[in-house]
Amino acid sequence: MSLKNWTPKVGALVFLGFLCTFLFIASLFRFWEHQWTSATWRLILSLLIFLIFFRHRRFAFAMVALSSILVNAGMSAPFHPSVPGIAATVVSAFLLYWLAVWGTRRYPHLKGKDWKTFFDRDPE
């Protein structure tokens, strides 16, 4: 899966998935700091992005969200090790692996080259 195989639609959905994930995580931190208004607006915006763009693409959103957590937590783990950072890295890696195994069992008719169909709709 290289960038030359991406379409503008896939690129936009990946960006929106990253944005939705980061807004959700930022809202959790704002709730932790008792900044209720800011946290609520970020959570509402994250849910709106999810409902508008990923309502029928839950598998694609799970892949994008888990990979963004894995990349961002995993990149900082060697330089700023912490228990939550290492836990986020390990858990997201495990969940990505589990999602890949579950996806191959649930959709046995799809091959590796059919990865873009998850960004169209969840295949049935």
What is the mean predicted confidence (pLDDT) over 71-77?
84
- Residues 6 or more apart whose CB falls under 8 angstroms from that of 40 comprise 27
The model's pTM: 0.83
How many Cβ atoms sit within 10 Å of the Cβ of residue 73? 20
Range of the domain at 112: 3-120
At 24-62, the pLDDT tens digits run 999 999 999 999 999 999 999 999 999 999 888 888 899
If pLDDT is split at 50, 70 and 90, which confidence band does 92 have? very high
Cβ within 8 Å of residue 50, ≥6 positions away: 20, 61
Q: Torsion angle, CA of 30/68/88/28, rounded to 10 degrees?
A: 10
Q: Is the pLDDT of residue 124 over 70?
A: no
What's the confidence (pLDDT) of residue 93?
Answer: 94
Longest CA span, the chain: 48
Counting the structural domains of the chain, the total is: 1
Residue 122 in this model has a pLDDT that exceeds 70: no
